[in-house]
Structure formats: C-alpha cells, structure tokens
Amino acid sequence: MKIGIISGSHRADSQSAKIAGWIERSLSDRGLCDETWLYSLAGNPLPFWDEGVFEGTEAWEAIMGPLRDALNSCDAFVIVSPEWHGMAPAGLKNFFLLWPGSGELAHKPALLVSVSASQNGAYPIAELRMSSYKNSRICYLPEHVIVRKAAQCFNADPAENDPEHHEYLAGRMGYCLEMLREYGLAFQQIRASGKVSLETYPNGM
C-alpha cells in the first residue's frame, strides 16, 4: 500500500505543507501503508494546462512522465488544500486538469483536508468534491477534515499548539487516515476486477 499526499498550497512555507508533513509522518508511524509520497505545489512546479498535455509534447512529457509514474504507483491519496478567499488554489485546480480520463487517479480513494487560518475551510471541500473528480475519477471518502486555526495545531513544537484543539484534530485525522487505508485496500480489488474501462468511457457525465 502506497499513499500519496498532495500539498496544494503555492506558498513555500505554508500551513498546508506543515499539515501534509504531519500526515505523512502519521501514516508511517501508524503503519498504515508501506510507502508514502509527498508532492508539494509550492512554487507552482506545474505549468498551466494547455493542449500540449494531450499532444504529448516534449516539454510536457518531461514534466508529466515522472509525475505520472508516481501517481500510478499510489493506491490512495490525501489532498490538502488551503482556503484562499473562499476558494481552492488555482495550482491545485490546475493539477486536476492534467489527469482527465488517463487513469492515474482513477478509482483510487482520497481524503480531503482543508486548511484555514481562521474559522473557515468548508469552501475548498465543497469545490473539490464538485469539480475535481468528474474526469479524473478520483473517489473522495465521505469523511473529510477541516483544519481551522491551523497555526494552533500540528506544530512540531507542542508548546505552539492549543492542546485541546490539536488533540481533537489529531484524533479526527487519525481516524480518517485509518478509514483511507481500508478504502485503499477495497479499491485495489475494483481496479483489478477488469471491469474498469477508461478507453470506452474516458470522460465522466
């Protein structure tokens, strides 16, 4: 079992990256998978989508090839998104544009985690559930986690955490990661069934 974590913030030193790192360590410490893979969108490493993606141009393939291999090797994902002005970041939406009907994310479970500096955080969950799954075929868990007041939890120095706030969210996150593992095991059987046909139906309805 390999679980990939996508940190969706463009910022280099973000709360999303901090929480993605905590998730990666927690997966390993709990023995929930054999391997993890953390990919950060800090610094906008992916160009904005254009038709070269479909044409397989040399420039795009140099970017997409290694990333495609990494995504293909994962059995499940955690998608970490900050909330910026009530939206998921453009870079994260662009990430999902790059994998339409091609199978890298298809029929693989994913846990959504949103991150807010204040009391918000619901908008990226709703946005990604609505618009990022159709052609990628990623399968979001019914569970999700909204990390509010992100500066007060998941810090390396426990003295920087609000104890009650951190304890609740860490417990909730742990539960959701346990569920993600079970979904990951179950969905392996779906992908191995021979019933999935992205060639016949590459796009969702």
Q: What pTM value is reported for the model?
A: 0.96
Average pLDDT over residues 68-80: 98
Report the distance separating Cα 123 and Cα 79, nearest Å. Answer: 14
β-partners of residue 4 are: 37, 77
Query: What's the chain's average pLDDT?
Result: 95
Between CA 199 and CA 176 the distance in angstroms is: 32
Q: How far apart are CA 197 and CA 42, in angstroms?
A: 34
Q: pLDDT (tens digit, 9 = 90+) per residue, 125-158?
A: 999 999 999 999 999 999 999 999 999 999 999 9
Rounded-to-integer distance, Cα 20 and Cα 4, Å: 10
- Convert the pLDDT of each residue in 90-116 to its tens digit: 999 999 999 988 899 999 999 999 999
The more confidently predicted of residues 174 and 56 is 174
What domains can be seen in the chain, in order of their start residue? 2-46+66-192 (3.40.50.360)
